[in-house]
Each structure stands twice: as structure tokens, then as C-alpha cells.
Structure 1
Amino acid sequence: MNAEIMEVLGQAEPYLTAAVSAYGAAVLVRAQDVALDAAVEGTAGVGRRILELVWRRRDGEERAALEAAVQDAAEDPEDSDAVAALRHQVKRALREDAELVRELVALLPEQVGMTVNVSGTRAIGAQHIGIAASGDHTTIHPPQS
């Protein structure tokens, strides 16, 4: 599996689930409801545009599979299996169309922030840190002037 596709999917998933939650199965309806868009434009709006982009690039049978996945996720957005099925449909489209990957990346807001994974006894994770001590019997002395 292409690491770029997995990364893009990871970034897109919150937008997809927000769109399905906000718009329901109507997220794929081509006629846009401008008032509804204005009300849920943020995360859900980005998700709607992602799904529209994917839907436009699929053929009849593939569109039907995407619509079914959207319907299932809309009926129960908390169902991890339904969300996974929707994610799988988007992943299939991305694997088959490198240009679609580029277009989807352009739709995603620039990612800010950082993820730090820390594990182990007394492990410390920080973006900026002054003094950190995690061992037994540690003594920290102030700097000498």
C-alpha cells in the first residue's frame, strides 16, 4: 500500500465522517444547498468536496458502491465498520488515480501541529522543553550566576 495514500486517508477521514454526519446520505447530491453549505462549511464542507471529487471520478458501478458506503455511514456515523467501508471506497479510488490523490491533497487544509508518540517507563515527550528529569533520585540544581 502506498504510504502517501494512507497518510492522505488519515488526514481526510475526519472530514469524511463530519460530512456524512452533517449532510447524511445527501452528501453526494450534485445540486448544492447553499444555505446548508454555509451552516456546516468547516470540516463537513471539506469532507463533502472530497466525496464529490471522488464520486465524479468513479464509473457507474463504483459510484453505486460509494453511495452505499455513504448511506451506511450516514445511518450510523458511530459504526466503525461503516466508516471503514467508506474509507475503503475512497482508498480504492485513490489507488487507481494518482491525479485524484493530488487533487484531494489540495482540498485538505494544511496540517498544523505535531504528533509525538511516547512510550516506556518515565518516557518524556515534548515539543519544547527546558529541564526534564524522569529518573529516580534526580536532583536538579538551578544554574549558577
Structure 2
Amino acid sequence: MSTEIVQLVEQATPYLSAAVTAYGAAVLARAESAAVDAAVEGTASLGRRIIQLVWHRQDEEGRTALESAVREAAEDPDDADAAAVLRQQIKRSLREDAELARELAALLPSPGGVMVNVSGARAIGAQHIGIAASGDKTTIHPPAQ
């Protein structure tokens, strides 16, 4: 298996996990729409697009295998073995279809970029920041000169 495919799947893994968690097994049934994408976090939306891209390029046997892997991963999103089966299905598809691998690479953010996931009330996500304050009645005092 080429190193590039392994790297692509590793890079796609957080998106796949987010999609399976957000959409469940229905990730394959969802039609692409701006409304659905807007309602679900960007990471999950990209994961859905990845799964659907792979699914649409499969023959009947490949689709059945991918559906099964997605269903198992959706039933228990914390099951590392189920997630591994889904990743393996994606790897198999990429090995068999070089154009699919190129399309997947184009969907993913550039390697080496920063991905920050935040959640919860008043959560803050930033790459470079001096001062970040979150909460009620926050007071920031400048440093003494």
C-alpha cells in the first residue's frame, strides 16, 4: 500500500469520525445540500462528503461493504475496531482507484495545516492569540509597565 494512501486516510480520519458521530448510518443517505452542511459542523460535513465520494465510486459489492463499515462505526463511535474497518474500506477503495485518491486529496485541507475543534458554551479556538477571555464578568488587566 502506498504511503500516500495511508497518509490520506490518516488525514481524513477525524472527518470520518465526526461524520459518523453527527450523521450516524444516515451519512450515506443524506443528500448534499447547503442546509445540511450549515446545520452540521464543518468537520462532519467534510467527512460526509468523503464517505459519499467513496460510496459513489463503488460497485454494488463495494457499496455493501462500505455501508456495513459505516453502520458498525455509527453504532459505537468509540469502538476503535469499527473505525479501523471503515478506514480499511476507504484504503481499499483508494488503492483501486487512483483518480478517487486525487479527488480525496483535493477535498482535504493542506497537510501541515492546523485543525482546531472546539465545543461547548463560550469555547474558544485559535492558532495565534495573545489574550483570550470567555465568561461572564471577565476583567483583563494590562501588564504593569
Q: Normalising TM by the smaller chain, what interval? A: 0.7 to 0.9
What is the count of residue pairs matched by the alignment?
A: 114
1:65 aligned partner: 65
For the residues of structure 1 that align with 2:5 and 2:112, how far apart are their CA atoms? 19
Deviations 1:26-76 (Å, cap 9, x if unpaired)? 000153464332121410111000001000000011100100000000010
1:86 aligned partner: 86
1:77 aligned partner: 77
Q: Which amino acid aligns with 2:87?
A: R
| The structure with more radius of gyration | 1
State which drifts further: 30-39 or 71-80. Answer: 30-39
- TM-fit CA distance, 1:112: 3.4
State which drifts further: 47-56 or 25-34. Answer: 25-34
Structure 1: segments with no counterpart, 5+ residues: 115-145
Residues 81/18 of structure 1: CA separation in 2 closer, same or farther (3 Å cut): same
TM-score normalised by L of structure 1? 0.74
For the residues of structure 2 that align with 1:5 and 1:38, how far apart are their CA atoms? 29
For the residues of structure 2 that align with 1:64 and 1:46, how far apart are their CA atoms? 22
Aligned-partner SS, 1:112: coil
2:42 aligned partner: 42
State which drifts further: 9-18 or 28-37. Answer: 28-37
2:128 aligned partner: none
